[in-house]
């Protein structure tokens, strides 16, 4: 494969919720969709725990005990928490990530 030119040197997408906490859990408007976003600059360091948390929440198991012992709560990372949902948006059916 030959790459004639590099159009973008930036290698990753860093998303943040307004409170800079991850967004993990069921979508407030369609619980069949589970969010795992807003990892910002901590994705590599926290990805294993975030994936375990997302899987546990998606399967109705709640926060794993070892993560709960660290103070992680479902509410703190919920896509439905007030800082994530843009309650003024008319065209956006789910939480709006920004930052």
Close Cβ partners of 33 (under 8 Å, ≥ 6 residues apart):
26, 27, 94
Which pLDDT tens digit goes with each residue over 10-41?
Answer: 655 677 888 888 999 999 999 999 999 988 87
Q: How many other CB atoms sit within 10 Å of the CB of residue 89?
A: 11
| pLDDT (0 to 100) of residue 40 | 80
| pLDDT (0 to 100) of residue 95 | 44
Q: List the domain boundaries for the chain.
A: 23-77
How many Å apart are CA 99 and CA 84, to the nearest integer?
A: 10
Which pLDDT tens digit goes with each residue over 52-71?
Answer: 999 999 999 999 999 999 99
How many Å apart are CA 85 and CA 83, to the nearest integer?
A: 6
């Amino acid at each position: 494969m030959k790459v004639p030119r590099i159009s973008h040197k930036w290698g990753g997408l860093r998303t943040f919720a307004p409170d800079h906490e991850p967004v993990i859990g069921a979508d407030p408007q369609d619980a069949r969709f589970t969010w795992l976003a807003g990892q910002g600059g901590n994705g590599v360091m926290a990805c294993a725990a975030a994936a375990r948390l997302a899987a546990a929440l998606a399967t109705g198991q709640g926060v794993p005990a070892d993560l709960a012992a660290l103070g992680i709560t479902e509410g703190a990372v919920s896509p439905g928490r007030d800082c994530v949902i843009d309650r003024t948006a008319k065209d956006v059916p789910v939480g709006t990530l920004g930052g």
